[in-house]
Amino acid sequence: MTKPTEPTLSRRNVLKTSALASAAIATSSITSSVHAAGDDTIQIALIGCGGRGTGATANALTTKQGPVKLVAMADVFENRQSVSYNSLNATFGDKVDVPQDRKYIGFEAYKQAMDCLNPGDIVILTTPLAFRWVHFTYAIEKGLNVFMEKPLTADGPSSRRMLALGKEAQKKNLKVAVGLMCRHCSARGELFDRIQAGEIGEITTMRAYRQAGPTGSADALPNNGDLPEVLYQIKNFHAFLWASGGAYSDFLIHNLDECCWMKNDWPIRAKASGGRHYRGDYIDQNFDNYSVEYTFADGTKLYLDGRTMSGCDKEFASYAHGTKGSAVISTSAHTPAKSRIYKGHNFVKEDLVWAYPHKEESPYQLEWEHLMDAIRNDKPYSEVERGVMASLVTSMGRMAAHTGRTVTRDQMLNMDHEFAPNVDKLTPDGPAPLAKDANGLYPIPMPGLKTKREY
């Protein structure tokens, strides 16, 4: 598989604010090392012990490229950390070395966990995205390699900040992976090569769907008082735009990213519609359905449809249509992709031209093999810019639906509405980034009425 070519990006004003992040990091001479702790073992700290963090850690501990050990864990919820630890310890035994005094709880726990590592070790950042730039900043300061979950950002200010931080990490030779694992899929990779070689002709249209029932914590019931407000919002992070970018950003980014990969470009504008239905007692900020038209610089359209409503048709797939044929990018969920090419546009068996012929390896595992290879062999490795751009164009479509207005990529990047500007100062009993109104309700998007901001 040929290594996918990164799109050439026209990002006016992207680095205008690089000084914001540069100033936040004390430049040092620490660089990435191949191993830590005086031997060949790479130590890992997990920051954010939910399902995705536990899964990423399992992938890290499964790699065959030298010894790896989990040595510290951090979360704001002790019960979630306990479940994660018990699962990992039962599966990996002596690869898990996290005694009670290296299990940290609270908003400063990320520092304590990273302080257990040496330069060249790895920190896994899988908290809600609002904390990504805060934790990434400290990881760079400590000289740590990073795996961080998608999305990376949900608004313009944090996107600018993360782009600048990515450059700081590169200057220090740190290896940084972003959890857009579909980019590491061998089947999609071969399809990319074939599309770039012209096997379906010029791409004319792309379609992507993630239509399912209620997902994650996207539908949230009111806080019953068991948790302080800020912890309630973190626990239900899919429900709040500041914490996750909402259901749109967290769930639709993969379909969008794999389509942009095949196109080898990022869209420049989006227009969209969406709405809230059957809300009952749910108080989250999400729409139940989104329909977005993305436009690339050459005029090509990508249509993205998302829905989280029970009782409706379900589809989880992406497609590309060209002047000579069409392609299935992915068939159902993330893996196996079952990528294939047809000479027509009906996706019927008699028109099949090519299908990936091998058993597909898990892209979740492959992304870790590629990161570990870069660390062990000191290869340049940074997925930050690509991760930010995928997050940014995802936010662009979300904002278009939430405001009812066309939103350009430059507008999204340069917007001044930061959803959680004081996220680095949160405390368990302090105010949450999103406040309720006098009726106990959170602000929601109102297309056509609120057009400059999403809420």
The CA-to-CA distance between both ends of the chain, in Å, stands at 44
Pairing of strands 176-178, 203-212: unpaired
Residue 147 to residue 175: CA distance in whole angstroms: 8
Residue 280, pLDDT score? 85
Residue 214: the pLDDT is: 86
Cα distances from 192 to residues 200, 228, 254, 369, 408, in angstroms, run 11, 47, 15, 20, 26
Residue 60 in tokens: 């890290």
Mean pLDDT per 10-residue section of the chain, whose length is 455 residues: 38 36 38 53 98 98 96 98 98 98 98 98 98 98 98 98 98 98 98 98 98 90 95 97 97 98 98 92 94 98 96 97 98 95 96 98 98 98 98 98 98 97 95 92 96 96
Q: How far apart are CA 271 and CA 295, in angstroms?
A: 9
Q: Would you give the distance in Å from CA 10 to the centre of its chain?
A: 22
What pLDDT does 348 receive?
A: 96
CATH homologous superfamily, domain 184-362+394-425: Dihydrodipicolinate Reductase; domain 2 (3.30.360.10)
Q: Which of 353, 358, 328, 355 is nearest to 342 (CA)?
A: 353
Instruction: Read off the tokens for 187.
Output: 């089947």
- Local structure of residue 382 (DSSP, 8 states): B
Q: What is the pTM of this model?
A: 0.91
Is residue 282 within 8 A of residue 219, CB to CB? The reply is yes
Tokens 């992040």 correspond to 21
Q: Under CATH, what is the fold of the domain 18-182+365-382?
A: Rossmann fold (3.40.50)
The pLDDT of residue 31? 39
Given 3-state DSSP classes, what are the helix, strand and coil percentages for the chain, each rounded to the nearest 5?
Answer: 35, 20, 45
Residues 6+ apart with CB under 8 A from 329: 188, 191, 258, 259, 262, 317, 318, 319, 320, 337, 339
By the 8 A CB rule, do 371 and 193 touch?
no
CA distance 145 to 125: 11
Where are the CATH 3.30.360.10 domain residues in the chain? 184-362+394-425
Residue 421, phi-psi category: left (phi > 0), alpha (psi -120 to 50), beta (remainder) = alpha
Peptide bond into 267 cis (omega under 30): no
Q: How far apart are CA 64 and CA 369, in angstroms?
A: 8
Give the number of other CB atoms < 10 A from CB of residue 235.
19
Q: Which two structure tokens, joined as six digits, stand for 123?
A: 């920190």
Residues of the chain with CATH 3.40.50.720: 18-182+365-382
